[in-house]
Chains A and B, each alone.
Chain A
Amino acid sequence: MRDLLKAEWQRYRTWVLLYALAHLLVLAFFMRIADLGQQPLNVRRLFGAGYLVTGLLLGLHQMGTWRRPNQWLNLLHRPVAPRRIALALFAAGGLALLVAVVLPLFLAVAWQAFGSARIVDLRHVLLPIGAEWVALCAYFVGVYGMLADRHYSASALVLLLWIVLARASGPAALAVQAVATAIAFAMAMVAFRPDLGAPPRSVLATCLVAVPLQVAVYTLILVAGFVVEMGWIMLGTHPGNMPVPPAGGVTEIVRLSPRDRMLAGLKDATSPEAPLWREQVALSEVRTLERAVAPTTHRQDMSNGSPMAFDDSDARIQWTFSHDRMRYEGTSVVTGLHVGELGVGANDAPFPAVATPAPNLGHPEKSDTIIVAGNTLYRYIASTKRIVPRLALPAGEHLLTTSAIGGSVAVLGDRALYFYDSRHLLNGDMPAPRQRLAIPGHNGDLGTIEVVELVDGYLISFAFTAQAHDMRGASPFQSVWRVDDQGHTTLVATRTLMADYPPVYRYRAWWPSPAIHALREASVGLFATDDPQDDNDTPPIPSSVRTLAFMLMGASFLVGLWLASRRTMSVRTRLAWAFVCGIVGVPAVACLWLMLPAAEPEPGPRTEPAHA
């Protein structure tokens, strides 16, 4: 086995070393022009895609050369078990990726840590490991793509899709990648056999081939749905793209100006003050609060959801947040040297959560910076180089966004909207909120919030439209509230909005296969911490959609039974397949059809050529 590993390594050695060198040069170049440790998700994705393609191509090339019939025979016809040969070749591939992908990355991290004043946290040391998982998983996907039956060998790509879509972040993401890689490895081992492309023999091997294949078919169904949607758009009847959206629907509300949106919410208001409010809305400034698009950043997340650094332009210092220290580390913009550490208050205490600079709330000192961490809003005071807390939401809530409205500051948490007196805020005495209005729905459904300042309080409109096109989100509605100066809250009007999209569209991810949809939700959310911004009030599935799904499952059971009866297998296996087709639905039927060739008509007695 060692011989094979050595031989295979020798085959790729030159190319691997060249790749590693090129990789190192690229990293060195980018490290000169930017801090690679502080990049947003999309930069990470770009690098990750590069490693993914590298692994995929290596797997495809390596097995592509071996799998030609004579090469394959020569490789496997020797007194070494195929499994050991596979391990030797895979070890060579893994070693190649280690040298080409991971080694340069570790060198780069080492340079950041020891050769520069830049921040190096645990998350940066974990990055090369993530890169190795991604590359290795893609490698096994490539191996499987070459060795498995070509009718379905591309199905392993769903593992890469999983890595891309998984919600877990930081070390948890590494765990997801490790699981995906382990599955890809097991699939590659199953495919690595003398009789390439023959159906797997054991139950475990069958599952390893069938489950990704079924998920792949499910994904293809979703893609087909997307193509249908394109056609729908071209027809001009897609609600999202109609010149005039359906009246009273989500699309209409989203397209309206903030003022009109507020007026639309007031349309059904029956309060005696309603006509007056309508006039005031027409005359006043309508402020919009929108939730941040980026997900909440957790400690040791690999990429920065939002920038982690801010500049003190007077002192020429760049402060960068360290996940390890939970404090800001300063680097002189002039000398590039480390100039100190910045925590909360006079004793530089660590932040309780990952801190991100937020937009300034309109105050004179321009080098000052607002920082948000967890439920607390801080302020960096440039003159004293101190960070002091300014306001805190109740413990356990998350501060999402702020907006100055008149003499107040509106602060949106994940559970309620608060109003603070901005004078108190500047003085720094941690004021209590003047008003609190609980969000009348689930945070994840929230589209926009409109706020209008009245003489004696505020008029607030919540539009719950964020996930209306999807089965996750609540049925869309708009809710208008009034908060007075004493802090009393009253519901002014609630308006149910039309979903615009028919259920068959909104539940398109569910009805093709409820079982795979459940698997998808479970795997995408594997090891992920719940994001407070993703809390939806998911309504029950409508009975019409359920009926459709059950009909499909029933039909799949019958087709599965028929397909199974045309294949050479035991009665028990046949029933098991039909049962799986019934549970999983259409993807299992396609899987059965692709994986197991139909039994050939029994070749009749040999046709004797007419030798006279």
Chain B
Amino acid sequence: MARTQALPIQIATGDPRPIGRQIVDAVRMRIATGELRPGAQLPSVRGLAQQLTINPNTVAKAYAELTAEGWLESRQGLGLYVAEPRQRLSATERDRRMDEAIQSFVHEVVALDYPPERAMARLDKALTVLAKKTA
């Protein structure tokens, strides 16, 4: 049984994203990058709320969303744990998000004036690292 793992995330007030959204994004990112491995226990609602000085209801809502999306799973009376990876999105939603991500990547890269081959090579390298971590 894994011990509660620290969740070193930051939230910012005044951000266009609501605090709950920021928590969801941060947890998803950490799971995706392998910082949070399946089976790791998350901080309690109250604990995380206190860590971030926010209303516990906000954390509860964020956790509920993550659970509903399948990123976390609740174990009766024990708390929340990172779930085993599985496909959590519909095919169309995946496609849409992929398009979005590529769009914003391309926008950024165009400005840097790299030749496409170099950009592709760098991207390939980054994705390989990600693949290793999640493996």
- Direct contact between A and B in the complex (CB less than 8 angstroms)? no
